[in-house]
Amino acid sequence: MSYQPSTTSLPAPCLVDVGIVVNPKDMVRILQHLGRVRYIHQQEEQVLREGEGYVVEVFSDPQQATLVANRSLYLNVASFDYLEMGQLADNQPYFDLIQDNRCLRILPQSNPLTEQNSCNINDATLEAMLAEALTAQWDACLDDDSNNFTS
């Protein structure tokens, strides 16, 4: 008897507003543009901390921690088993990052529909743009100096 694996593949999941996300890349895509949020950190359904902050960075790296400090959230999806997304009774979306009996609930406070035209450049992008502009200006100065011929 020979076993032949199926050549047909299953379609990728499709989740709309509610569901459980286990793929780290999908978790990053969902969380990376949240902006201003409220957060509630619970363990065994007991609230340990809550507050407001801004999602500064979302990444997946087993060597780094998820950090919430100084109203800044650095979310490492590798710190969690899965993300559950849903809506509260008032249609407010929530994103629960779950790891064992720990839950970090993220409640978006900004609306991407009303903020889509705002400029949202992170520090690294701004720094790269500034370095490029300064380098171009420096190159232009060097070109001008080398083209100054005395008559």
* Angle, alpha carbons 106-108-114 (nearest 5°): 165
Between 97 and 143, whose confidence is greater? 97
Mean pLDDT for the chain overall: 86
Distances (CA, A) of 61 to 69, 70, 71, 83, 89: 19, 22, 22, 16, 34
Q: Who's near 101: CB < 8 A, 6+ residues apart? A: 43, 44
pLDDT band at 12 (very low <50, low <70, confident <90, very high): confident
Domain membership of residue 9 (yes or no) is: no
Which residues lie across from 44 on neighbouring strands? none
Taking 60 as the threshold, does the pLDDT of residue 61 lie above it?
yes
Taking 60 as the threshold, does the pLDDT of residue 151 lie above it?
no
Cα 3 to chain centroid distance, Å, stands at 42
3-state secondary structure of 129: helix
Domain membership of residue 95 (yes or no) is: yes
Looking at the structure of the chain, the number of domains it has is: 1
Residue 39: domain span: 19-111
Taking 70 as the threshold, does the pLDDT of residue 3 lie above it?
no
